[in-house]
Amino acid sequence: MASRSVRFLPLATLVLCAAGQALAEDRAGACPITTPPTPAFIPPAPYEPDPAAGGFYLGTPKLWTVVWRGAWDRLPYWKEGYRQHIAWWSQGYDWKADPQPELSITGKRLDAPAPPLVTDDHANGAHIDGKPSFIMSGVNFPTTGCWEITARWKGEEVRFVVWIGPLPADTPKKQN
């Protein structure tokens, strides 16, 4: 009887893996990943009018960020989860005058129960020589999946949805 069980173990493993892949594909396909707004948001001068390749701006002159298209995969895994840095801008923000801005970031997984997003204790003002100041934040996603991120600062709010982790092969990306 033991040999019969051993022969069915690979088949059972294959069935479970296929079921897990199908569940991941259903969840990824149902994730309302944020797409570029129409019309596109273009930050006011003197900020860069075009984000880095692969991303788009989302927000208003009072608070905006770059959202990367597609899945956020290949994130490093820390003990708190999958780590990502997110840069934020606000017209007139000065990192010297406000080195630790009171930016609030929250996040929740939309496709399955999960612990909430873990954020750094505070955001930090930052700059690159010759460019306007910006706010840098660090977030950790406890699991892969469909996540909604909300940032609030000085009465402004920016909200977007991303898929954390690799998208299963051939998964259509639902767009909102």
Task: Tell me the pLDDT tens digit for each residue of 148-165.
Answer: 999 999 999 999 999 999
For tokens 């920016």, name the residue: 158
State pLDDT tens for residues 117-155.
999 999 999 999 999 999 999 999 999 999 999 999 999
- Domains of the chain, start order: 31-164 (2.60.40)
Which ranges in 31-149 belong to alpha helices (H)? Answer: none
User: Is the previous residue joined to 46 through a cis bond, with omega within 30 degrees of 0?
Assistant: yes
Looking at residue 17, the DSSP 8-state letter turns out to be: H
Res 96: pLDDT = 97
For residue 105 the two structure tokens come to 């970031």
**CA distances to 99, 125, 126, 127, 143 from 96, in Å:** 6, 7, 9, 9, 35
State pLDDT tens for residues 45-89.
999 999 988 899 999 999 999 999 889 998 999 999 999 999 999
pTM of the model: 0.79
